[in-house]
Structure 1
Amino acid sequence: MFTLGRVYRDGVTLHIVNSGVNLYNHMRNNHERLIGVRGFERASGGVIAEKLVRYLTSTDGVFYLGANKIATTQQDTSPTGPPDILTRWYHDAGGNWVSNTGIEGASAAGQISNEHYDTPTGLADIGVARYGVFWLFIHFDGDLHVVYGIGTYKLALAEMALVPILPDAVRDFSTLAAKIIVGQADPNFTSIVTAYEP
């Protein structure tokens, strides 16, 4: 027996929905449904930690993109690691997204800045006794990408900051892994808050 649809009668009015079993291309339809509903979903790993002075590590991870299992490898952006690449995202003076894998200000490649935050017209200095917020994403292929936050905050406001508008390469091809807060000129992170459900 196959369900073809569902009908609800409200007096003389019939409400009909074609919701029966459609076996044609069932696997693809189910895969697309999983992507639409669940996106890039973490099963395990992909845990972010600080190494040395504002460098990052990420553990091996298992994620699902639709029905496909994707294994990501551990990352280490420090000079004592491979080092793996950290891609930074912020705006230039023309309001365009910039992706930078090299030095930014006094921060070495692979290191989170303790100097700057993002504005629509480029980077600005984090204020004295203020905090910057950085959003760390794991790309589907395992690379680490950080999007600069858009404010110079007191700590309580930094803790409440929300994910800013994202560049397409991050929005469409990654998952949020952590929120990092760092004080102006501080050598280490104030906090790393995981984005994963407990």
Structure 2
Amino acid sequence: MTREGSIQCPQCGQVCIDEGHDTIGCPNCQATFHRAEEPSATIRLKKPGMALILTACLGIFGNCVLGFASMAIHKAPIPDQAPEGVDEATWQSYRNGKEMAPLIDFCMATFPVLFVYPVVLIAGMQMRARRAYYLCLIGAVFAMMPCSPAFLMGLPCGIWALITLLNRNVRDTFRTPPNQAPLPSP
């Protein structure tokens, strides 16, 4: 083929100059590869890692909006007198629950923001850098948890990340330092 331009090295991800030859040499890791080779595991991790990062950002933003919206919605005044047929103890219990509802809603919305989505965010960043394999697995599972509206994006992204992470070639790349080419699988 006689295409000129640039192409990514399947071993280290370095952009190499494509001079139109079928075999290309990487100046960074000294690997040679053919233009038609399958993308390397390093390159395969970039997109699902970015999808986890986007899922985490949407989850954090969505849950913050839901938390503040739930606090604003529950601001309706509570009448002082119990309606007819309701005893005083039941009415007082209702009033206490009605006063605590915004706090409980806010806590339910902030739990994912404080504990779930930071793990997903860090896992996405680590996935792109080929580090912390088990954290990446946990982050992919957390992205699929139905704890915010971002779940609709997190489910397919988490499945995609898990499928990518469970691939043997991809798993092996986590065992080598990020600046070295992975060893071939037996």
Q: Which has the higher contact order (CA 8 A, sep 6+)?
A: 2
| Higher strand proportion (structure 1 or 2) | 1
Q: Which has the larger radius of gyration?
A: 2
Task: Tell me whether the two structures share a fold, i.e. TM-score over 0.5.
Answer: no
- TM value normalised by structure 1: 0.21
